[in-house]
Amino acid sequence: MTVIVPLNLIGSILAQRLQNSMIKDSDGADKEADLLCGDSIVNYKTVQSFGHEDAIIDMYEKILAPNLAKQKTVAFRTGIALGINIFLQYFTQAAFFYVGAEIVSYYEGEVTPANVMSSIMLVMMGAMLAAGSAS
């Protein structure tokens, strides 16, 4: 358990850092796009009366276009990291239960399934809390 649990921590930290970098990178363009949206909503009568709805949409797309390729790359990396993280969580649980079953079968009478199950749950809950606090 002490060998496998750090893998969960590393996976959680990596996934969280990638998500945070995606949020930080898009802040500048998002603010400018939000201002354009807000102004066009506040002045919707003027925009509509001059028929500039399509122009506003084009401006909005131009503001967000430079970050699009970068955001796709970061989103892909984040998806891979989250997939690995989830795989590691389920792999860890499967390994714990397999080893626990082997321990119960090897030490019949000395170790009960309830003891093994409580040990597994304690370690898994501790790992989840540690991963959450680390990220």
State phi, psi for 87 to the nearest 5 degrees.
-60, -45
Q: For the domain made up of 5-134, give the CATH fold.
A: ABC transporter transmembrane region fold (1.20.1560)
In angstroms, rounded to a whole number, what is the distance separating the alpha carbons of residues 49 and 44?
A: 8
Per-residue pLDDT of the chain (135 residues; tens, 9 = 90+): 777 777 777 777 777 777 777 666 656 667 888 888 898 889 888 888 888 889 998 998 888 888 787 778 878 888 888 888 888 888 888 888 899 999 999 988 888 889 888 888 888 888 778 767 765
Domain assignments of the chain as residue spans, ordered by start:
5-134
- List Cβ<8 Å contacts ≥24 apart for 97-101: 99/1
